[in-house]
Structure 1
């Protein structure tokens, strides 16, 4: 039986690698190096970052154990290339593989600096110029503010999506999704509703409290919040990466739906089951019908099941894109404006705090999504040799098509 790398945690959350109960010194020293040295752009690495390194390196070291070679004897062409092919065949996305690959490369480059001999030879990086916002998508590392970058031939090309049209659900599609989630368990419908009304990822919604807690000491349940007359309250949460606390708005109207359709009807009995299992912790907001706490993987499973019935692969993150796209659409509609990238920075100010992202290029993708929906309504009526006449009624026709996508009930 192969001996695999396992991890315990130091008091500062640095991973402590061991194999068969014995400390794995190269990996242990590497994690100490990551913890104690500053990054090129300044600042120290967060514990979560080092933890991610440990996960990615475990994949590589466990593969080496499976094929019976040490990390020092493995090489790029015979071993790493085979693992890459295997992972992609299992459905791993290029973005995820690139994260793994870059962690493996950083480890072996560290081995070179400390004199640990090995046979791994990575391809030489190529210096090239690219627009700054494209460097990350193309496997580049920024080297200066003028968008000079080093392209790593070992990274897989990643399609740079210009918009999120294929990730947005119109109201009809959303209704079908939540119906399927409800058939599974109403808790998944409510989680999807929360994602679609806040723009939060799964991890953020999982942190929504029932009442005041350590992260949100001023959090009010819906009845108390409603009495204040406030339209929303702010949720403090740890985003992906858990590097800092972010804040977003949760609408009172949305909390009313959760309170009346889930908390009052189902959660009381579920919390009773949860507490009957001799669990000292306070019952969380999200519980299944068996009194089990809902975790991220439960939500993913529910979405996969709903997708199999819908005939469309709908991921939880699609609801984040749906939320943001509708905010952009409603922004233009409320201001009587034609969708245009010229307004990107204005809209970005509206979105960045709620979504917790600072890159205006992401906001531009949401604007392009609205523009693409309008373009797809225009093109059929403008195509030559198909449409016999183009007249002044076309703008109304296109407006109706766009409205049908975003607001089918108003048609």
Structure 2
């Protein structure tokens, strides 16, 4: 796999997109050059933009092209999985682009407006290719206008200018309207512990690997792309990685380095209780048989050869057939579980649920009321494990706890309220998960 990169030459406002070892992407370079120097000659006679805007557009298009060619396994209209690497930016179609959009929102947690910022320059790029006679399969649905009424009383400068009672803005058909509705908390993306127990059981019925991955995301707050990168043994990013039996119990955790969205390197603490859960619920009972299937069957498949995978590669998460679990596969497992359980849940809900529960416990242990007054301290506490820098993201978690508390439904959401000797007919498996989760949350608090 080759990832598109940008080379910004001194004095040149247009970055050069290139594939290391494979040369320049001339389609994108020509688009960026014309967009900067001759915008009125572009389809739609576009407005001139500065160098910073050109660079941002290049970054966003680069990200989308890399997703298309490297990060996503696509399905066709019949739901059949397409060969890895068979889709590129010239043969991808609108239906397949929707799959990337759904991934960004449902599993990476992107808001609608953020996705719009990536789709807009991608539209311009494909419009340019069409105008130049470059053959491709991407035909966007047309954007349309929406009209919103203005409140003159809320426009404090309306007396100084001609006032218009309405304004128009573009609607992007790829982005559902509800994704763009502003929400300043995560209440809709936090599941209760009783819901998680049901989710775990349903995923376990499909394949134990999905259930253990869900519990791992809950405990580590990793996004779907991050949990996929937990290694089975040491690798280039994690040369000192240890299995559960090799870890020092007096330290209690190890650091995972992984590629974050956008390609930057992020770090996350993986606690010994999470490693124990993976070891006892997946590695011991399942992985050796699946590794044998991986080497004997999967590595001989066209899918493996297309991805240049062989017996020397190591993947922690293997499904029942010995194939490495893919992002679409895990997404589909959550989709099936949602339908079976009657409530909507995606993999990204695990991140929000775990972080909300941890923050609640942190407040109890430190006798600190979770509110905006303590936002700086709380931000310092959360930002490393969550990998975010924006204080507003921390405020979303603070508001989530404040509002759940105010609604008097928060008790169900937090594991500290669960009694391990309750009488709700827990299976031994779920009992173990609850116990491990509570121990892991305690370790998070040091």
Contact 1:8/1:16, CA 8 A, preserved across alignment? no
Q: Which residue of structure 1 lines up, in the alignment, with residue 205 of structure 2? A: 183
- Spell out, residue by residue over 1:290-310, the C-alpha distance to the aligned partner (whole angstroms, 9 max, x if none): 101101111001000110111
Contact 2:238/2:257, CA 8 A, preserved across alignment? yes
Q: Note if 1:98 corresponds to 2:98.
A: no
- Spell out, residue by residue over 1:186-206, the C-alpha distance to the aligned partner (whole angstroms, 9 max, x if none): 000111011001000011000
How has the CA–CA distance of structure 1 residues 61 and 337 changed in structure 2, closer, same or farther, with 3 Å as cutoff? closer
How has the CA–CA distance of structure 1 residues 62 and 108 changed in structure 2, closer, same or farther, with 3 Å as cutoff? closer
Out of 15, 19, 25, the residue aligned to residue 11 of structure 1 is 19
Aligned residues: 325
Q: Note if 1:403 corresponds to 2:434.
A: no
Q: Which residue of structure 1 lines up, in the alignment, with residue 261 of structure 2? A: 240
Q: Which residue of structure 1 lines up, in the alignment, with residue 441 of structure 2? A: none
How has the CA–CA distance of structure 1 residues 298 and 33 changed in structure 2, closer, same or farther, with 3 Å as cutoff? farther
- Spell out, residue by residue over 1:27-50, the C-alpha distance to the aligned partner (whole angstroms, 9 max, x if none): 552267899x96349798489526
Contact 2:218/2:351, CA 8 A, preserved across alignment? yes
Q: Distance in 2 between matches of 1:316 and 1:284?
A: 20
1:165 positional shift = 0.9
- Spell out, residue by residue over 1:119-176, the C-alpha distance to the aligned partner (whole angstroms, 9 max, x if none): xx9999xxxxxxxxxxxxxxxxxxxxxxxxxx96456761111211111111111100
1:245 positional shift = 0.6
Q: Distance in 2 between matches of 1:167 and 1:152?
A: 28
Q: Distance in 2 between matches of 1:94 and 1:362?
A: 15
Q: Which residue of structure 2 lines up, in the alignment, with residue 49 of structure 1? A: 63
Out of 310, 318, 332, the residue aligned to residue 301 of structure 1 is 332
Higher relative contact order (CA 8 A, sep 6+): 2
1:52 positional shift = 5.4
Q: Is the deviation greater in 350-359 or in 279-288?
A: 279-288
How has the CA–CA distance of structure 1 residues 224 and 363 changed in structure 2, closer, same or farther, with 3 Å as cutoff? same
1:94 positional shift = 4.6
Superposed counterparts of 1:18-97, under 5 Å: 27=28, 29-30=30-31, 39-40=52-53, 45=59, 48-49=62-63, 51=65, 94-95=112-113
**What is the DSSP-based 3-state SS (H/G/I as helix, E as strand, rest coil) of the residue aligned with 1:249?**
strand
Contact 1:198/1:354, CA 8 A, preserved across alignment? yes
How has the CA–CA distance of structure 1 residues 199 and 14 changed in structure 2, closer, same or farther, with 3 Å as cutoff? farther
**What is the DSSP-based 3-state SS (H/G/I as helix, E as strand, rest coil) of the residue aligned with 1:39?**
helix
Q: Note if 1:201 corresponds to 2:223.
A: yes
Superposed counterparts of 1:10-409, under 5 Å: 11-12=19-20, 27=28, 29-30=30-31, 39-40=52-53, 45=59, 48-49=62-63, 51=65, 94-95=112-113, 98-99=116-117, 101-104=119-122, 106-107=124-125, 153-154=170-171, 158-226=180-248, 229-242=250-263, 244-277=264-297, 278=299, 279-377=310-408, 402-407=410-415, 408-409=417-418
**What is the DSSP-based 3-state SS (H/G/I as helix, E as strand, rest coil) of the residue aligned with 2:235?**
coil
1:96 positional shift = 7.3
Q: Which runs of 5+ in 1 are unaligned?
A: 1-6, 18-24, 64-82, 115-120, 125-150, 378-400
Contact 1:14/1:31, CA 8 A, preserved across alignment? no
Q: Which runs of 5+ in 2 are unaligned?
A: 5-17, 37-49, 70-87, 133-141, 146-167, 300-309, 423-446
**What is the DSSP-based 3-state SS (H/G/I as helix, E as strand, rest coil) of the residue aligned with 2:52?**
coil
**What is the DSSP-based 3-state SS (H/G/I as helix, E as strand, rest coil) of the residue aligned with 2:311?**
coil
How has the CA–CA distance of structure 1 residues 359 and 253 changed in structure 2, closer, same or farther, with 3 Å as cutoff? same
Q: Distance in 2 between matches of 1:241 and 1:13?
A: 21
1:11 positional shift = 3.1
Q: Distance in 2 between matches of 1:321 and 1:168?
A: 6
How has the CA–CA distance of structure 1 residues 364 and 8 changed in structure 2, closer, same or farther, with 3 Å as cutoff? closer
1:282 positional shift = 2.1
| TM-score (norm: length of structure 2) | 0.61
Q: Distance in 1 between matches of 2:311 and 2:359?
A: 44
How has the CA–CA distance of structure 1 residues 177 and 33 changed in structure 2, closer, same or farther, with 3 Å as cutoff? farther
1:313 positional shift = 1.0
Q: Distance in 2 between matches of 1:53 and 1:26?
A: 17
